[in-house]
């Protein structure tokens, strides 16, 4: 559920950091964003997923739940890297769209992975934990935005997908996926 937390953190970043980019000077030394550009950046978080959501099921079937989860760390990390190093509006907009893509794929693969990996007794609790993690991420984003500088907040966001990748790398593929791919020996 770390990707869910990072998705929430991304929304918290958007609401606390984009207003800083409207000021002159601002933390990234880019030309101050206009109200319209900020609105487009917020919209980017919603538009990015529209291009990837139709393919989420195919990704999970082709690359596995774990493989999809590992791959989603890439757009999330690039999102935070572009936010950190972005030197103009278009890079910030691209970062926002990639953050939305990562959030959308995570919203698809996390429940699928949890459903196929855990027993019935704890499945419901872990399923609810995804939404809880997202909300904790939003709240954390608001808090970090109040206490950390633009760069430190963004660095925290950049570190989390690395932990996500490392943690998921240590976990196995789901038995359901392995069974569907006729890789029965690996299910044991």
- Give the C-alpha separation, 98 to 102, whole Å: 6
State pLDDT tens for residues 77-122.
999 999 999 999 999 999 999 999 999 999 999 999 989 998 888 8
Residue 119 main-chain phi, psi, to 5 deg: -75, 160
Residues of the chain with pLDDT under 70: none
- CATH class of the structural domain 2-187: mainly alpha
Pick from 20, 2, 8, 7: nearest CA to 146: 20
**pTM for the predicted model, two decimal places:** 0.93
pLDDT at 126: 81
- Give the C-alpha separation, 120 to 116, whole Å: 10
């Amino acid at each position: 559920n770390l990707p869910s937390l990072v998705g929430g953190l991304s929304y918290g970043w958007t609401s606390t950091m984009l207003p800083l980019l409207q000021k002159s000077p601002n933390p990234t030394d880019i030309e101050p964003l206009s109200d319209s550009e900020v609105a487009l950046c917020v919209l980017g978080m919603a538009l990015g997923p529209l291009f990837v959501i139709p393919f989420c099921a195919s990704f999970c079937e082709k690359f596995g739940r774990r493989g999809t989860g590992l791959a989603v760390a890439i757009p999330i990390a690039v999102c935070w890297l572009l936010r950190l190093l972005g030197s103009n509006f278009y890079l910030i907009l691209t970062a926002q769209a990639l953050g939305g893509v990562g959030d959308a794929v995570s919203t698809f693969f996390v429940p699928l992975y949890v459903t196929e990996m855990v027993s019935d007794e704890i499945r419901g609790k872990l399923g609810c934990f995804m939404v809880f993690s997202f909300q904790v991420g939003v709240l954390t984003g608001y808090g970090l935005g109040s206490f950390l500088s633009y760069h430190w907040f963004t660095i925290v966001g950049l570190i989390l997908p690395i932990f996500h990748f490392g943690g998921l790398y240590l976990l196995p593929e789901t038995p359901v996926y392995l069974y569907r791919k006729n890789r029965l020996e690996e299910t044991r």
